């Protein structure tokens, strides 16, 4: 798994609306909380997504963009996002290509992993956390790290 101090690999993936999202588009503008999760609408993943949703304003106040990534398709992301009113971007990573770039480990070698990265606006990973069993810790830990970083520009 990529560690703090490493440059965050750039990537392009489709969001829930089928539009292309590029990590590089946020560089020099926003800090990014990039979180990888196993599957839409499962207990732990739903709790994690809803926790990010409930803290979303605080992430915005910290100048951060929250981005969730799983191998689910765009239609699944649309349903998941609508069902739980998720105000942040969900990306489809078919085959786990981007998860592999970030070294997100699989659980038991089979289940897609759960990992969170805080990336500063210069593109450097400042925090990396891997835990399948504690999805809510990802949200709180990411917030703590963001509060230590200079706030990113709020310009769009």
Residue 112, domain CATH: 3.40.30.10
Q: How many domains does the chain have?
A: 1
Residues 8, 13, 16, 45: which is the catalytic one? 45
Instruction: Flag whether 69 is in a domain.
Output: yes
> Is the model's pLDDT at 150 over the cut of 90?
no
Instruction: Flag whether 14 is in a domain.
Output: no
Residue 67's nearest CA partner among 51, 88, 97 is: 88
Q: What is the mean pLDDT of residues 76-93?
A: 98
Q: Which residue range forms the structural domain that includes residue 78?
A: 28-146
Residue 35's nearest CA partner among 61, 64, 73 is: 64
> Is the model's pLDDT at 153 over the cut of 60?
no
Instruction: Flag whether 1 is in a domain.
Output: no
Mean pLDDT score of the chain: 91
Q: For residue 52, what pLDDT band results from cuts at 50, 70 and 90?
A: very high
Q: For residue 154, what pLDDT band results from cuts at 50, 70 and 90?
A: very low
Chain segment 17-32, per-residue pLDDT in tens: 999 999 999 999 999 9
Chain segment 90-120, per-residue pLDDT in tens: 999 999 999 999 999 987 777 888 999 999 9
Q: Does residue 45 carry a catalytic annotation?
A: yes
Instruction: Flag whether 76 is in a domain.
Output: yes
Residue 50's nearest CA partner among 37, 62, 63, 64 is: 37
Instruction: Flag whether 70 is in a domain.
Output: yes
Instruction: Flag whether 93 is in a domain.
Output: yes
């Amino acid at each position: 798994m990529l560690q703090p101090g490493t440059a965050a690999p750039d990537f392009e993936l489709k969001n829930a609306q089928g539009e292309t999202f590029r990590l590089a588009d946020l560089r020099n503008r926003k800090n990014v909380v990039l979180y990888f999760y196993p599957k839409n609408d499962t207990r732990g993943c739903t709790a994690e997504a809803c926790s990010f949703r409930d803290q979303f304003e605080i992430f915005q106040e910290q100048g951060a963009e929250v981005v969730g990534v799983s191998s689910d398709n765009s239609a699944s992301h649309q349903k998941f996002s609508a069902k739980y009113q998720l105000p942040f971007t969900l990306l489809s990573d078919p085959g786990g290509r981007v998860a592999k770039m970030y070294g997100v480990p699989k659980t038991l070698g089979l289940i897609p992993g759960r990992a969170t990265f805080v990336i500063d606006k210069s593109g450097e990973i400042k925090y990396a956390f891997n835990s399948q069993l504690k999805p809510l810790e990802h949200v709180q830990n990411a917030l703590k790290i963001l509060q230590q970083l200079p706030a990113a520009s709020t310009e769009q």
